[in-house]
Amino acid sequence: MTALPLFPVTSVGSWPRPAEVREAQRRFRRGQLSRAEFDRVADRGVADFLRLQEEIGCDIVTDGELRRDNFYSFVADKLDGVKLMTLAEMLDVVEDKAGFERLLQTLDVPAYSISSPICYGPIARREPLAVDDVRFARAHSSRPIKVTLPGPYLLTRAMYVSEMTGPVYPTKEDLAEDVVRVLREELTELAAEGAEFVQFDEPVLTELAFAPDRTRTFMCAALASRKDPAEELELAVSLINRVVNGFDNRRLGVHICRGNWSRDESTLLSGSYRPLAPYLEQLNVDQLVLEYATERAGDMMSFGDKELGLGVVNPRTDTIESVDTITAVVQNALRFYPADRVFLNPDCGFGTFSNRPVNVAAVAEAKLRAVASAARRLRS
């Protein structure tokens, strides 16, 4: 792995898509643009974002997930047996219609415009999930590359809708077997392609810990799961560990957060990492990428000898955190972590859903610049 400075700066995932990328994405979905035409527009957007990160001083770059509609739905374009369904379409097929409608009402999202990847047949990689994105990024940046992928638990929960999936995979554990296989195939190719850091997004873990009544879930498709949260967390740990088993020569991370679909913090989940700690400690990954800029994340703590991807700016606010504020968060983390295990990043992505980013690019850029300035000050 490339040697990194202290307090390496990186981003967590999504970046607000430029207007032309959003427009191209809309037209591509409607069949008005070919894949190649869409890629030409997206390539320009990604190349610009890579240049911006280098100029800002990011030590590890990402492609900002600019090609993705959201952080997990894109798998529908890549996997056999998976298709995108809007929440309105799902309402037609789920049996518990009243429960599903209640859920939609509590979410501060334009629910009918958000799509989820739903499994309806045996899943297999028709094409790689992110290998092409890494190849493009490598051709346009010499910095180490981080690639983000939906984690195996998130994917299984999101894709399993018993009315659609049950005939193929009787239980969600059955589907999980194939999800693990698909992600391991991807990881093998990503490693060969030179991705230095692979981050699995598992935001739904916080829902298990902080929303036991399941009324506020943001993984809308996940109504299927009514099991004991501890059992679900154990399943999540075992799936992640099976995916990463044997890939010791890359940096592997898991990102969890308490929701990033709305700027209304009161609709997002809240609670410290403490109830999750026993599970997070069991994960065989190098780094946990965690929120700490938002007060909803609670106290700082360590998780065995893992690195911390420390969230130091809130992607959902307009105020740019000062270098002093960021430095103070880092100093607090240094009470629990040696300096060479602390990476700096925003709490989460800036554009979880392409049609509803939580911030504009100018603010996102100013926040990332503040993180890089803080890193420079801390190093000196």
Task: Please give the C-alpha separations between residue 100 and each of 86, 107, 161, 272, 338, in angstroms, as whole numbers.
Answer: 13, 11, 12, 28, 45
Residue 165 vs 345, nearer CB to Zn ion: 345
Residue 169 vs 200, nearer CB to Zn ion: 200
Task: Please give the C-alpha separations between residue 245 and each of 131, 200, 276, 277, in angstroms, as whole numbers.
Answer: 19, 14, 21, 20
Tell me how far apart the alpha carbons of residues 377 and 371 are, in angstroms, rounded to a whole number.
10
State the number of binding residues for Zn ion (CB under 5 A). Answer: 3
Q: Scan for tokens 């994340």, then name that residue.
A: 297
Residue 143 vs 316, nearer CB to Zn ion: 316
CB 261 within 8 A of CB 107: yes
In the complex, least distance from residue 148 CB atom to Zn ion, rounded to whole angstroms: 10
Residue 15 vs 169, nearer CB to Zn ion: 15
Tell me how far apart the alpha carbons of residues 291 and 286 are, in angstroms, rounded to a whole number.
17
In the complex, least distance from residue 338 CB atom to Zn ion, rounded to whole angstroms: 25
Residue 164 vs 348, nearer CB to Zn ion: 348
Residue 38 vs 303, nearer CB to Zn ion: 303
348 binds Zn ion (CB under 5 A): yes
Q: Scan for tokens 């968060």, then name that residue.
A: 329
In the complex, least distance from residue 126 CB atom to Zn ion, rounded to whole angstroms: 27
Residue 164 vs 300, nearer CB to Zn ion: 300
What single-letter DSSP state applies at residue 207? H
φ and ψ of 287, to 5 deg: -135, 140
The per-type count for the chain, helices as H runs and strands as E runs, is 14, 8
In the complex, least distance from residue 38 CB atom to Zn ion, rounded to whole angstroms: 25
In the complex, least distance from residue 24 CB atom to Zn ion, rounded to whole angstroms: 25
Residue 81 vs 253, nearer CB to Zn ion: 253
In the complex, least distance from residue 143 CB atom to Zn ion, rounded to whole angstroms: 22
Residue 41 vs 66, nearer CB to Zn ion: 66
Alpha-carbon dihedral angle through residues 278, 283, 288, 293, given to the nearest 10 degrees: -30
Taking CB under 5 A as the binding criterion, the range among 123-131, 266-274, 323-331, 347-355 that sits at the site for Zn ion is 347-355
In the complex, least distance from residue 17 CB atom to Zn ion, rounded to whole angstroms: 17
Tell me how far apart the alpha carbons of residues 152 and 178 are, in angstroms, rounded to a whole number.
10
In the complex, least distance from residue 146 CB atom to Zn ion, rounded to whole angstroms: 14
In the complex, least distance from residue 164 CB atom to Zn ion, rounded to whole angstroms: 26
DSSP-based three-state secondary structure for 332: helix
Residue 208 vs 348, nearer CB to Zn ion: 348
161 binds Zn ion (CB under 5 A): no
Strand order in the sheet with 197-201: 146-150, 197-201, 251-256, 287-290, 307-313, 342-346
Taking CB under 5 A as the binding criterion, the range among 48-56, 343-351, 358-366, 369-377 that sits at the site for Zn ion is 343-351
Q: Scan for tokens 């307009």, then name that residue.
A: 318
Which ranges of the chain does DSSP label H, i.e. alpha helix? 19-29, 35-56, 75-78, 87-93, 97-106, 131-140, 152-159, 162-165, 172-193, 204-210, 229-244, 277-282, 323-333, 361-379
Q: Which of 129, 257, 283, 297 binds Zn ion (CB under 5 A)?
A: 257
What DSSP string describes 50-81? HHHHHHHT-SSB--TTTT-SBTTTTHHHHEEE
In the complex, least distance from residue 260 CB atom to Zn ion, rounded to whole angstroms: 5
Taking CB under 5 A as the binding criterion, the range among 19-27, 156-164, 231-239, 344-352 that sits at the site for Zn ion is 344-352
Contact flags string 205-244 toward Zn ion, x per CB under 5 A = ----------------------------------------
Amino acid making up residue 78: K
297 binds Zn ion (CB under 5 A): no
Residue ranges in contact with Zn ion by CB under 5 A: 257, 260, 348
